[in-house]
Amino acid sequence: MDLFNESEDVILFKVENSGKTLEKFLYSQQISGRLFRRLYKQKNIFVNGSFYSKDTILKSGDIISIIIPEEEDDTLGEFMPLDIIYEDRDLLIINKPPFMVVHPTKSHQKSTLLNGVAFYFNQKGIKRKIRFVNRLDMNTSGILIVAKSSFAHQQVALQFEQNQVKKRYMTVVSGIVEKDEGVIDLPIGREEEGGIRRIVTKDGKKAVTKYKVIERYRNATLLDIQLITGRSHQIRVHLSYIGHPIIGDTLYYKPSEYIDRQALHSYYLGFKLPRSKEFKEFKADLPWDIKNLIQYLKK
């Protein structure tokens, strides 16, 4: 393997059984066709240290190497404090504060999380494009995954697509939820074509939300939410539909004088790391504004 530079990021796979072509073998390792074609075109896939045709038949014991090339990114970097939960060669996992936009939009051209991560990458000498794997609304806080390569992004995004990622949220809802736990299995779709709001509708996509009561307060309840599917606004729509909208959610409920956003926080994600395939759990503490809301509700 000494034909690779020490600075290069190389991912290794060992062939256990003979008979598959190079292309088919990497597909069996969850490498997408798109990613395979790009790496192959760049001549960044090797068999035992040499570049071969994608139709090469592999033998047991062969070592497949993939080079993850460095990339240029022209995103404007801006310094901002990042609450980093975890970092390795593939991922940067951040606890996003409330009120922070992830990507630049027409109304938010600067001071987005993308700008903050670009500054961090530049300071650390990480020459990679910034790829967010999951999404959070501006006013939802919690765990965000940044992939440092197309390989890492594809490996984790596939787990999201196949509902293999364990996702849990904390939220404070209006009213006393009487059942200690329950399941909401109701399809969700757009209220109108091109609109932002979602609704429960028989023509919508399957959506399943599990909830468990953590604490009950004065006409409010703290819930632990587990997402089984991942539809846009799923938690907000489902909880509003059953008569317990999230406190502070101005889209599906009303403003609150005690919190300036919906009281919703992504506190837990569990998934397999892209390279080692080890299942790893990540947690993010409740932010100050939800803690303050809970203290008020306890009075």
Q: Residues with catalytic annotation?
A: 137
Distance between CA atoms of residues 61 and 63, nearest Å: 6
On whether the CB atoms of residues 84 and 113 are closer than 8 A, the answer is no
- Return phi, psi of residue 241, to 5°: -65, -35
Q: Which two tokens mark 284?
A: 């993010």
On whether the CB atoms of residues 91 and 273 are closer than 8 A, the answer is yes
DSSP letters spanning 30-50:
T--HHHHHHHHHTT-EEETTB
Distance between CA atoms of residues 278 and 185, nearest Å: 30
Residues 248, 169, 144, CA angle at the centre, nearest 5°?
Answer: 100
On whether the CB atoms of residues 199 and 234 are closer than 8 A, the answer is no
SS3 85: strand
Which single residue is written with the structure tokens 């309840």?
221
Question: What's CA 42's distance to the chain center, in Å?
Answer: 28
Q: State the virtual CA torsion across 244, 246, 251, 255 in degrees, nearest 10.
A: 110
Distance between CA atoms of residues 119 and 212, nearest Å: 39
First to last CA, the chain: 65
